[in-house]
Structure 1
């Protein structure tokens, strides 16, 4: 019993010791796991910090690259301005009339692919009766045995042959139909090709005939052909998209002078900032703007470069020696913030002769010095679009204008304006405003768009374009006529509208015109204006 008890105690002691060792091993494993977990957390934190640091470096590099892109864009735009003239010097601006002709480059006919239809095999009768006894054998003749079987074989062979023959005839009929369809298709395709080619050749012939006429008219000094040729020259001039390349031109045959009104790019074409800088501490990309003087100089050089390039291209391309001189008026399309109306102030005007200008070496000139040497009028503040008076105003050569007749000299105190011809009355109104001091032009009656007279006040501050309507009326002029005049003003981009009548205006008409740049001249005021010019007439019903 003592031995057993001791043995049991030793076994219990071993169990306790084993449990303690297992618990200690578990604690060691847990501490090891915790240490490894702590190492993993520290490693993750280090990696996160490294990643964040790397991302920050990449972000800063990206912002610097963005700044460089802005600066490269500025340099590209400014370099583009510097090459405006040099680009055209390396190009022959003449238009070869031969290059305007179209050539016969119509593709050769290619027959459409159609599937070949092989001929069907004709069934051979003999092949269907091979092995079939057509003649009765000796035994059959004597005994009659096998006759029915032989006749059935002959009948079966005959039926099979007839069936094959019908299939052949049906297939051949379908084949012939497909052949006809293919022939129709090919004939139709050829006819379509021939018709398309005929139309193409007719178009070429018509175009080339037009070029023949255009070429002959140009060298025959036809005004419209010369204007069209010079329009082609300017349209072919290769500028970037920021340049409007919109213009009007008019050729004076007597003086061999070309007048051009050319729309210049707005000052917004010049970059607002000279450079961009990135401040890392504030994470800010900030532009360094041009000083007003710098911006004015850059924009002045830009508009002057366009003017010199235009003059160079026109004179160099003058095939027929039709141009003795060119007048260039550079205008900018913008909005008058005081009125909300569209305006086109002229900020550069040049007049130069061909024999003088072609002596210049434009590759070596100072742009602004060159235009000043040409006695050009350049706005003192081009960025503010301060206008200058055009040397020759293109609007004075509107194709609607007609020669006016002198009606004033035919008037005396006995003349009743109500009895005048309506067209004579329009000439009289045009004469009157010319005597007052305006540059007045009479428009064609059938194409005036509601305008009878267009007048220009040449004064630099108070001047502008006026539209004048003359109405030889007996009855009161209603508000509808004044509304029409106001609409015409908007359409003509005029600064003032004047309505002249031999009668009077209703209260609605005067009320509509009250707050607008419209002047209403009735019969009484008209007679007074004539008297101020020493002209006497009357208005009598």
Structure 2
């Protein structure tokens, strides 16, 4: 064997995982946990505020402020303990309902539902599509006009003629210098300024155009790559669909991987698979790899003890841990039978030979080893008669004459000498 999730199986697994996580957002246990977390955060904020108030208080208010801070701290710790307890309860409920979680789900996977469509993100540099605004060119100032001094009148006309001529000459000289400066500015300085503005605008526009060209080329290349990837995936999907129609063993293996990838387990009890289909026997051999007992949560409640200012754990008893783990692996076995048979509408898989094992360090040797815990075989026709809503998975396995570890929680392996059947 040695098969793990294939291309389409991984896609299906990730999609189902996202859907499951979204659904669980609205589950009552999660809502309770979120409420507890919010309360813990609120209490912690209140505690921080109380501490700050205590530090700012006058000497006469220190006692009252310290008492308020202590009360807020106690409430914060209680809320944290309640939040952790809610999370523990949620985790245990998920583990205890591994079989129930799949019974309301149609495990058949329509291959066409895996068909992809190209989803292009918007062009990220829309700012480059807008050219820079035209520069505002400087306009020439008004041309200076010569204003002659007022002509003398009266007696001044008779005796001030020379003075008037001198004033006129000075005024003309001032005007001439102003006009010279104006002419120099209009004919030399102003054109240079405007030319620089136009040059800077042209350079900015050229830079924008070059950046836009490069950004569009990169974006179009990324779009082309996305289209190529999707086209290849859909072409592979078409090939898988045709191969399934004629019962190709490799296609059936791929489909089994899709189905098992569609079966998403809770984060606290994730599983993996190895599988191989034998077309001559119509039998699927599958190994389910489950977490070791040490990976399963073992604290059921958290309680704040004010006297010691600590949050204490209440662990599950050995019996509770053993019963939960043994029940979980039995549920995994029955769930896997159910999901594979239900998904195979064409009935190509007639029997399933299943092993449930875990991989962990052997406490006797210190080496990482595989521990087979369940070996079971199921016939499609017989298994389809079971009403799984009303079964105890452990008793179902016993009814099917399965080999089941007498102490899976203690890592006591079953004997594989005689095989599954």
Q: Return the structure number with greater helix share.
A: 2
Contact 2:333 2:356 in 1 (8 A): yes
Within 5 Å, give how 1:369-518 maps onto structure 2: 369-390=395-416
Higher relative contact order (Cα pairs below 8 Å, separated by 6+ residues): 2
Corresponding position of 1:215: 241
Structure 2: runs of 5 or more not aligned: 1-59, 148-164
- CA apart distance, 1:228: 2.4
Question: Is the partner of 1:184 in helix, strand or coil?
Answer: helix
Q: Which one has the largest radius of gyration?
A: 1
Question: Is the partner of 1:217 in helix, strand or coil?
Answer: helix
Deviations 1:244-299 (A, max 9, x none): 4122111111111111111223234566688899999999968586465x655443
Corresponding position of 1:160: 185
Q: What's the RMSD between the two structures over aligned residues?
A: 4.5
Contact 2:272 2:288 in 1 (8 A): yes
Residue 131 (1) aligns with residue 156 (2) = no
Structure 1: runs of 5 or more not aligned: 1-43, 134-142, 395-541
CA distance in 2, matches of 1:290, 1:174: 79
Between stretches 376-385 and 348-357, larger displacement belongs to 376-385
Question: Is the partner of 1:344 in helix, strand or coil?
Answer: strand
The TM-score, its normalising length taken from structure 2, stands at: 0.64
- CA apart distance, 1:157: 4.4
Question: Is the partner of 2:375 in helix, strand or coil?
Answer: strand
The TM-score, its normalising length taken from structure 1, stands at: 0.51
Q: 1:328 aligns with which of 354, 377, 393?
A: 354
CA distance in 2, matches of 1:195, 1:296: 56
| Distance 1:77-1:203 versus aligned 2 partners, 3 A rule | closer
Corresponding position of 1:95: 109
Contact 2:373 2:408 in 1 (8 A): yes
CA distance in 2, matches of 1:274, 1:183: 64
Q: 1:104 aligns with which of 113, 118, 121?
A: 118
Deviations 1:322-347 (A, max 9, x none): 31111110112233444443332322
| Distance 1:87-1:162 versus aligned 2 partners, 3 A rule | same
Within 5 Å, give how 1:226-265 maps onto structure 2: 226-265=252-291
- CA apart distance, 1:235: 2.7
- Count of equivalent residues: 332
Deviations 1:4-26 (A, max 9, x none): xxxxxxxxxxxxxxxxxxxxxxx
| Distance 1:254-1:166 versus aligned 2 partners, 3 A rule | same
Question: Is the partner of 1:112 in helix, strand or coil?
Answer: helix
- CA apart distance, 1:363: 1.0
- CA apart distance, 1:69: 7.2
- CA apart distance, 1:317: 1.8
| Distance 1:166-1:335 versus aligned 2 partners, 3 A rule | closer
CA distance in 2, matches of 1:122, 1:63: 72
Q: 1:358 aligns with which of 360, 366, 384?
A: 384
- CA apart distance, 1:308: 0.7
